[in-house]
């Protein structure tokens, strides 16, 4: 299952991320398509709305918001991807140092549920955890719904 499942090495599910699963790009493209007639039908600034800025915004999401997921990044920017252990083990959730590792401090702060995932992997195994995450993603759960700031 690991081969076809999109997950962050840090334990975050890419399939629950609207950038990682491609949904943001897909929706921006759809909005652009659905509103393309409006660009021609209304004069610039009609009703105080800036159509050119709107298009630039959609283009931004289409061109730069798609995430390749960390499994496909060639130049790692994330500290997790620079860790030799994550390369060896495949996921921080399989590393005994995860709960205290300085490389995952950001992830544990932004996505505190990954600590629960770490414990869950110990209970049901990594493949079982990936299966559960896929089921949650298919049911429509998004990181925005479960992350706490």
Residue 97 predicted with pLDDT over 80: yes
Residue-wise burial string across 119-145, b where 16 or more C-beta atoms lie within 10 A, e elsewhere: ebbeeeebeebbeebbebbeeeebbee
Residue-wise burial string across 29-57, b where 16 or more C-beta atoms lie within 10 A, e elsewhere: eeebeeeeeeeeeeeeeeeeeebeeeeee
The pLDDT value recorded for residue 118 is 96
Mean pLDDT of 22-38: 89
Mean pLDDT of 54-64: 90
Mean predicted lDDT score pLDDT of the chain: 84
Mean pLDDT of 67-86: 77
């Amino acid at each position: 299952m690991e081969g076809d499942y999109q997950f962050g090495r840090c334990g975050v599910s890419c399939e629950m991320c609207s950038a990682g699963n491609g949904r943001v790009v897909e929706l921006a493209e759809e909005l652009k398509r659905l509103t393309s007639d409006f660009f021609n039908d209304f004069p610039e600034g009609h009703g105080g709305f800036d159509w050119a800025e709107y298009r630039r915004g959609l283009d931004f999401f289409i061109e730069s918001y798609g995430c390749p997921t960390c499994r496909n990044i060639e130049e790692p920017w994330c500290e997790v991807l620079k860790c030799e252990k994550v390369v060896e083990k495949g996921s921080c959730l399989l590393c005994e140092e995860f709960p205290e590792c300085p490389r995952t401090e950001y992830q544990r702060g932004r996505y505190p549920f990954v600590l629960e995932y770490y414990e869950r992997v110990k209970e049901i195994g990594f493949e079982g955890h990936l299966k559960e995450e896929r089921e949650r993603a298919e049911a429509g759960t998004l990181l925005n719904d479960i992350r706490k700031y």
